[in-house]
């Protein structure tokens, strides 16, 4: 069963800074943009994070997950898989073990 997702509107401000000795001297803002932060319930559930085109993460955990990407939570993996198929999302690329090279 799909779970309820909380949303929070936030403003991201990007700035540059430089260090002078042990002091940080702030420079003017470089840019800013509004984002929505999606937050999962804290109970154990499956979390699908995607950008509308591809799967970014699919995992089961408890605690809170926050992301600026779309977040879908369910009590079972099959419902997440169905959501991936419904939206036509590209799968997350397989992880490569570089230690074998």
Sign of the torsion formed by the C-alpha atoms of 56, 58, 61 and 64: positive
Percent of the chain with pLDDT over 90: 28
Average pLDDT over residues 62-80: 86
Q: Is the pTM of this model over 0.85?
A: no
Q: Are 41 and 3 in contact (CB under 8 A)?
A: yes
Residue where the block lists tokens 């590209």: 90
| Order of all β-strands in the sheet with 70-74 | 55-61, 45-50, 70-74
Average pLDDT over residues 63-86: 88
């Amino acid at each position: 069963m799909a779970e309820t997702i909380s949303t929070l509107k936030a403003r991201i401000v990007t700035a540059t800074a430089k260090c002078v000795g042990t002091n940080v001297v702030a420079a003017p803002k470089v840019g800013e943009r509004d984002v929505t932060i999606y937050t999962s319930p804290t109970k154990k559930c499956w979390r699908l994070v995607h950008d509308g085109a591809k799967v970014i993460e699919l995992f089961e955990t408890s605690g809170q997950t926050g992301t600026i990407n779309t977040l879908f939570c369910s009590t079972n993996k099959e419902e997440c898989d169905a959501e991936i198929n419904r939206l036509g999302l590209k799968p997350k690329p397989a992880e490569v073990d570089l230690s074998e090279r």
